Amino acid sequence: MTAHIAQPEETGQRSGGPALPQERRLVTEIPGPASRDLLARRQRSVAAGVSHVLPVFITAAGGGVLVDADGNSLIDFGSGIAVTSVGNSAPEVVERVTEQVRSFTHTCFMVTPYEGYVAVCEQLARRTPGDHDKRSALFNSGAEAVENAVKIARHATGRPAVVTFDHAYHGRTNLAMALTAKNMPYKHRFGPFAGEIYRMPMAYPLRWPTGPTNCAQEAYATVTELIHSQIGEQNVAALIIEPIQGEGGFVVPPVGFLPRLAEFCRTHGIVFIADEIQTGFCRTGNWFACEHEGVVPDLITTAKGIAGGMPLAAVTGRAELMDAVHPGGLGGTYGGNPVACAAALGAMQAMEDHDLAGRARNIGALMLPRLRALAERHPQIGDVRGRGAMLAIELIRPGTIEPAPEVANRVAAACHTAGLMVLTCGTFGNVLRFLPPLVISDHLLDEGLSILADAFAMA
Ligand SMILES: Cc1ncc(COP(=O)(O)O)c(C=O)c1O
């Protein structure tokens, strides 16, 4: 017999969004019978290559909770991988999307334009670092934005080479895979990859061979020497970097590394691309993570948090670079879809009205001391790092920096069973990352941290 899928109204709700009770509530084991039935259907119909973290099938979400088909309410420390920063079904997003859907759903901006696209580009010019003249182009996914940023940089400079970093993640399309560092699961047997990509050592304080103190200076010296000797500065179109690396392990480069790289790029006419797809839109306590060190990128790629869960991405940058491309050279059928643009305008309004950058800083201030206290009790925690509401702990074998992915997996599994959604990441799979929606309540943060502490006590 098929298990009953609990509908939101049966659990006391008409729908999701912030009106959902902001509580953890477990009414079955995780996953429960309805989710297990759906999982069986999924396995018969969805390609095995598309994986999931936790097979609870969601029927409603909002604020800091995810409600599943069995009526369980889980605390969300993942935001669908840094997407629902304004919360799921945020009222500002729902309102604008509903209005837009009623008016029209698609014309293709390249066929007949509409105001929403222009308004999003105006917002991007206003919100992204730097007060120079800017232009934007809109796309559907982060990977697509990355591909287009590289296209623009190559076209504008007439140079071929692109510099990327160890532990980088830029997406799953062919060029984005070439820029991404990690083989499994992202690249394995998917080659050959796009050419003229050069990978440099990343300033990763915990793992820098001579220690964190020397990391910024030595990494900068190594990267610039390698660019000089192995590529030649004049052959480099762009350098692309995440201001805080996401999938690669929430690696925060030491202070000084990013500004010096940006300066080096400026000196040599290399386009400095900040990939802010995961860090952008208030996540780290500023609208963009580059702002923490006053870095002004030439091009910036955004997606994820931009539109409250609707698929939208952008490349924003210096007008002279963006406008170098001939008419028709950029675009795509769905890029800047009117419904996604309406969502983005609603999401940005919510970020501003509720000072979600400030809220991200508060979340960091609440979580960091608790994570540090946990690290004092558990020697497997080798590092606590991050900014704002983009935080992580890296797990190691005590007394070494040898990665301990099995501990990360055990702790994550214990959290899931207890109704807390956490994600892992890292080149070595040994990092637990925390990306709560910025609208989550303090009491859910607090309860989530207690669940994490209990999971460590058992691990
Ligand atoms: C920094 C960064 N760049 C690019 C991407 C790819 O974005 P998408 O999954 O929307 O293609 C991601 C996704 O995790 C990311 O974190």
Ligand 1 lined by 276 (C-beta under 6 Å):
no
- Cβ partners under 8 Å of residue 422, min gap 6: 77, 78, 411, 412, 415, 416, 432, 433, 434, 452
Distance 142 CA to ligand 1 centre (A): 5
Query: 275 alpha carbon to ligand 1 midpoint, in Å?
Result: 9
pLDDT per residue over 268-294, tens digit each? 999 999 999 999 999 999 999 999 999
> Is 14's pLDDT higher than 80?
no
Q: How much is the average pLDDT of 355-382? A: 98
pLDDT at 13: 55
For the chain, what percent of residues have pLDDT higher than 70? 98
Euclidean distance between CA atoms 391 and 400, whole angstroms: 22
Q: Which of 138, 169, 312 to mutate to test the pocket of ligand 1 (most atoms within 8 A of CB)?
A: 169
* Burial per residue of 217-249, b for 16 or more beta-carbon CB atoms within 10 angstroms, e otherwise: ebbbeebbeebeeebebeebbbbbbbbbbbbbb
d(CA 214, CA 168): 21
pLDDT at 247 over 80: yes
- Rounded to the nearest integer, the mean pLDDT of the chain is 97
Nearest ligand 1 atom, CA 311: 10
> 411: pLDDT confidence band, cut at 50, 70 and 90?
very high
Q: HEC states along 374-391? A: HHHHCCCEEEEEEECCEE
Q: Calculate mean pLDDT across residues 238-245.
A: 99
pLDDT of residue 126: 98
Provide the token pair at 359: 């809220």
What per-residue confidence (pLDDT) applies to 387? 98
Q: Indicate the SS3 state at residue 420.
A: strand
Is there an atom of ligand 1 within 6 Å of 277 CB?
Answer: yes
pLDDT tens for 67-114 read 999 999 999 999 999 999 999 999 999 999 999 999 999 999 999 999
Whether the model clears a pTM of 0.75, i.e. scores above it, the answer is yes
Q: Which of 138, 244, 304, 306 to mutate to test the pocket of ligand 1 (most atoms within 8 A of CB)?
A: 304
CB contact burial 401-421 (16+ within 10 A = b; e otherwise): eebbeebbbbbbebbbebbbb
| Res. 157: pLDDT tops 70 | yes
Give the list of residues 6+ apart from residue 12 with CB closer than 8 angstroms, or none. 21
**Beta strand 58-62 with 65-68: parallel, antiparallel or unpaired?**
antiparallel
Which pLDDT score is estimated for 7? Answer: 66
Q: How far is the CA of 145 from the centre of ligand 1 (A)?
A: 9
CA of 283 to the centre of ligand 1 (A): 14
User: Between the CA of residue 27 and those of 33, 34, 63, 68, 434, what are the distances in Å?
Assistant: 11, 12, 20, 10, 25
Label residue 3 by pLDDT band (50, 70, 90).
Answer: confident
Which residue has tokens 């953890």? 24
Q: How are strands ordered across the β-sheet holding 161-165?
A: 134-139, 313-318, 299-302, 271-275, 236-241, 161-165, 197-200
Residue 109 in contact with ligand 1 by CB distance below 6 A: no
- φ, ψ (nearest 5 deg) of residue 247: -60, -30
CA of 185 to the centre of ligand 1 (A): 14
Taking the centre of ligand 1 as the mean of its atom positions, its distance from the CA of residue 304, in whole angstroms, is 8
Is residue 12 scored above 60 in pLDDT? Answer: no
Rounded CA-CA distance 14/6 in Å is 12
**Which stretch of 4-8, 389-393, 415-419, 434-438 has the lowest confidence by average pLDDT?**
4-8
Instruction: Give 275's strand partners.
Output: 301
The Cα–Cα gap between 298 and 179 comes to 18
Q: How far apart are CA 270 and CA 249, in angstroms?
A: 26
Specify the ligand 1 atom closest to the Cα of 304: 10
* 434 alpha carbon – ligand 1 mean position (Å): 16
Q: What spacing in Å lies between the alpha carbon of 56 and ligand 1's midpoint?
A: 23
Mutate to test the pocket of ligand 1, among 277, 279, 300 (most ligand atoms within 8 A of CB): 277
pLDDT digits over 104-148, tens only?
999 999 999 999 999 999 999 999 999 999 999 999 999 999 999
Q: CA 77, CA 445: separation in Å to the nearest integer?
A: 8
Q: Which ligand 1 atom sits closest to the C-alpha of 278?
A: 16
Looking from the CA of residue 173, the nearest atom of ligand 1 is 11
User: How far apart (Å, rounded) are the C-alpha atoms in residues 293 and 263?
Assistant: 12
Nearest ligand 1 atom to the CA of 313 is 10
CB-ligand 1 contact for 275 (6 Å cutoff): yes
Which numbered atom of ligand 1 lies nearest the CA of 275? Answer: 1
